[in-house]
Structure 1
């Protein structure tokens, strides 16, 4: 299991990223659950958990309106599989990483693949 948190994105771009991951892997969110704007001046953070599997269905590149900051956190294999799925669909710029005994955290910037 790995957690994906998205920030700095429109709700449409967040829905696009989660949609790609939902197509590839089981998630804790129902299929009709989409990111919603929250009132106020706070920065939105959208989060979902995914259970990466060895066999997943890659998707073609999908455009984003802007860039999306994504943090992937979980076991090494799960985080690597999520990153691989994102890398097939979006341009991925790795911004940072933190590793522990059992978990890994990746900070990524996602944009449209050119």
Structure 2
């Protein structure tokens, strides 16, 4: 039986998802990216912490995740306030990332934009309460 990674490669499924966060505190961005790095391989090192950039424009943090293989599940993760995440990738990959986010956060879909091969989804992430 093939692994998910082999299956996605064999069927030409793009397993990369880009996640962008803005308008949130650096510790919340770090919490979201940390939870995602627990689950998926990332283009960022584990000790890479989001840094605030001075200036008039809002800071946007971005990272890309390979969702073809779940390394381990993320546990509930606390946020100081809700975070809006813009997620972009293939349909299967975005759905997989969204599914795994529910282990760490309360997830609400705010909006979607569909394309031929990819979609963009705006999510609201909040601390999960039992």
Larger C-alpha radius of gyration, 1 or 2?
Answer: 2
Deviation at 1:24, TM superposition (A): 0.5
Counterparts of 1:87-106 in structure 2 under 5 Å?
A: 87-106=102-121
Q: Which residue of 1 aligns with 2:73?
A: 58
Task: Please identify runs of 4+ aligned residues in structure 1 that moved more than 3 A.
Answer: none
Is there any run of 5+ residues in structure 2 with no aligned partner, and where?
1-15
Structure 1 length as normaliser, TM-score? Answer: 0.94
Paired position in structure 2 for 1:34: 49
Q: Could you tell me which residue of structure 1 aligns to residue 82 of structure 2?
A: 67
User: 2 CA distance for matches of 1:5 and 1:43?
Assistant: 12
Runs of at least 5 residues in structure 1 that lack an aligned partner in the other structure: none
Q: Secondary structure of 1:12's match?
A: helix
| TM superposition score normalised by structure 2 | 0.83
In 2, distance between residues paired with 1:47 and 1:55? Answer: 20
| Superposition CA RMSD, Å | 1.1
